[in-house]
Amino acid sequence: MHLSEVSNILKKSMNLKVLQEFLLSLYSLDNVKIYDVTAKDYLAAISMVNELELDPNDCLAIRIMKNAGIKEIYTF
């Protein structure tokens, strides 16, 4: 999941200081991996939209997952 999506969801129920602390804490967790995203990744994701019939954010997640060898995802 994109950190920006996490932030957008949680900002409705957390004040900004708590949200900031939570997001920063994700970087110290052993069971959470945060991947860098490049302009090349975004362009590739945009080109996948018609083929997969998904929005660009979902296509970006698929691209990053494939590059990382991730084959399973949990979503809501």
pLDDT tens digits along 8-29: 999 999 999 999 999 999 999 9
More confident position, 39 or 74: 39
Supply the pTM of this predicted model: 0.74
Q: What is the dihedral of CA 21, 23, 26, 32, to 10 degrees?
A: 160
CA distance 9 to 32: 18
pLDDT at 60 over 80: yes
Residue 64 amino acid letter: I
pLDDT at position 4 is 85
